Amino acid sequence: MQKFDLIIIGAGRASNIAAKAGKLGKKVAIIEKSKLGGTCPNRGCVPSKLLIGYAQKIREIKDSKKYFIRAIIDDIDQEKIFEQTNEYISKVEKNYENKFNENVTVFKAEGSFLENKIIEVNNTKITAPIIIIATGTRPAKVPFENAWTSDDIFPLTKKIPDSITIVGAGFIACELANFFDAIGVKTTQLVRGDTLLENEDEDISEIFKEQYCKNVEVKFNTTIKKAKLKNDSFEMILDDEKIHTSDALLYAIGRVSNADTLKLENTDIKTDKRGFIKRDKYFQTNVEGIYVVGDASGEHMLQHAAAYEMNHLSKFLFEDEKKALEFKYMPHAVFSYPEIASVGLTEKRAKELNINYVTSTTSWLASAKAQALKIKYPKTKFILNPETYEILGCHLIGYESATLIHQVLAIMHLQNDIRNLKEMLYIHPALSEALLPAAVEAVKVIQEYKESQK
Ligand SMILES: Cc1cc2nc3c(=O)[nH]c(=O)nc-3n(C[C@H](O)[C@H](O)[C@H](O)COP(=O)(O)OP(=O)(O)OC[C@H]3O[C@@H](n4cnc5c(N)ncnc54)[C@H](O)[C@@H]3O)c2cc1C
């Protein structure tokens, strides 16, 4: 049996813990069955946003008639787009290997438990007093043979399709369908219900749906009954018995836990109903010394959450900062067209929680820079506690929303009071200034509420 100070299963964000522990002189084993770096740089956030960059430019060129410019896109070199993205992916693993010093042993294989503190990898038994499970998720299984998931396009090694059907209504489906449509692949998105991005605030997802469907063809209330690859083309029978065809079929219908690969039945580690590993507020599973971090916990499923957790856990383990981590606010964005950014409660959630709240929704158009974008729909919606002025939720839709929301996040983190967003000085007429009238309006709404209570 090989003995280590620390064993990590899954080399996504947890690679950083391995690198840090190695530098501190700990004897570390890190086990990875696929590529070092995990989902984000190899087949997730980074390559998908590299693709979105192309889509964004193309959409802007297509919108240029608003600026009295007649622009014609002569050619989109789809091969080059994928070649560059594939090239980025091909370098990830090497970069991660270079993070580790001689104290870190990398096992490139699937690891699983033989008992609580004993792991088997490559027919070798290894043990350590501290084990970190950071095994993340994988795409839900596709229901038809030869259909793709997002993993099949990062890297894309098959022929670029002339047409694609994308099934799903979440952020991955909406980012990828926007990309394929923008670069000229005939794209159809199939959605089981009649909503896109149903976890967003309803007002925001409604605006999104209206704008997004101007570009991407979406068939709502539609599912595929049967699908078969025939002569390099998928023939699909939809639930209304109509036949639909496209070269490729990609499912983006959610992600499932990788915990089923760990043989947890040999341990006392418990999972929840969805198969994600349970943990306490110190990230510890119900077995002492075995921790779970990142997507493997099924909690936030975002790269920035995973990175923050890993950083916290390594301080907890190696710098003796025995604090529990409770995220105050967890922001996220949808990098589609339009772009969305959001933090905190949606109005629906505030209703479910039965809390006292008020809302204010404001257009960005008071800002000259926003007007210069020549789009009318951008909005800011606040959900607020009318007793304390606390921002409970903020939802943005419009150009660079994911960047703009950071000024709201800063206020929420430092001293959460909407009046701070109203009182600060903005550069006129920067796009950020679009949040000033939103804050002014929000404070007004609260004051009207207070008046009404007298
Ligand atoms: C297409 C796409 C786009 C995304 N875009 C964004 C975005 O814009 N912003 C954002 O915040 N998040 C985004 N995400 C989510 C983000 O990628 C994840 O939240 C993040 O990568 C989670 O990191 P992790 O380390 O917990 O898990 P992972 O990065 O998934 O790492 C887990 C690793 O464990 C390995 N593993 C699993 N089981 C075993 C085993 N038994 N033995 C050995 N190894 C094992 C896996 O191979 C994997 O490499 C996106 C995801 C996808 C798929």
The pTM for the full model equals: 0.96
Kindly give the distance from the C-alpha atom of residue 39 to the centroid of ligand 1, in angstroms, as a whole number. 3
Q: 53 a known binding residue?
A: no
Q: 1 a known binding residue?
A: no
428 is catalytic: yes
pLDDT tens sequence across 174-232: 999 999 999 999 999 999 999 999 999 999 999 999 999 999 999 999 999 999 999 88
Residues 6+ apart with CB under 8 A from 82: 155, 156, 160
Structure-block tokens of residue 376: 């009318």
Structure-block tokens of residue 341: 């950014």
Q: Is the pLDDT of residue 328 over 90?
A: no
Quickly state the pLDDT bin for 315 (edges 50, 70, 90).
very high
Ligand 1 pocket check for 435: Cβ under 6 Å = no
Kindly give the distance from the C-alpha atom of residue 259 to the centroid of ligand 1, in angstroms, as a whole number. 13
| Ranges for all domains in the chain classified under CATH 3.30.390.30 | 339-452
pLDDT tens sequence across 78-111: 999 999 999 999 999 999 999 999 999 999 999 9
For the domain with range 2-139+256-318, which CATH number is right: 3.50.50.60, 3.40.190.10, 3.40.50.300, 3.40.50.150? 3.50.50.60
Ligand 1 pocket check for 304: Cβ under 6 Å = yes
Across the range 413-423, mean pLDDT stands at 96
Q: Is the pLDDT of residue 327 over 90?
A: no
Site to substitute for ligand 1 among 39, 50, 92, 335, most atoms within 8 A of C-beta:
39
List, as one string, the DSSP characters of 377-446.
Answer: --EEEEEE-TTT--EEEEEEESTTHHHHHHHHHHHHHH---HHHHHHS---TT-GGGGHHHHHHHHHHHH
Site of tokens 């996040």: 409
For the domain with range 339-452, which CATH number is right: 3.30.390.30, 3.90.1150.10, 3.40.50.720, 3.40.50.1820? 3.30.390.30
Neighbours of 288 (CB within 10 A): 12
Q: Is 119 helix (H, G, I), strand (E, B) or coil?
A: strand
Looking at domain 150-253, its CATH class is alpha beta
Site to substitute for ligand 1 among 303, 313, 314, 343, most atoms within 8 A of C-beta:
303
| Ranges for all domains in the chain classified under CATH 3.50.50.60 | 2-139+256-318, 150-253
For residue 150, give the ligand 1 atom closest to its CA: 1
Rounded Cα distance, 113 and 117, in Å: 8
Q: 173 a known binding residue?
A: yes
Ligand 1 pocket check for 149: Cβ under 6 Å = no
Q: Distance between terminal CA atoms of the chain? A: 73
Q: 301 a known binding residue?
A: yes
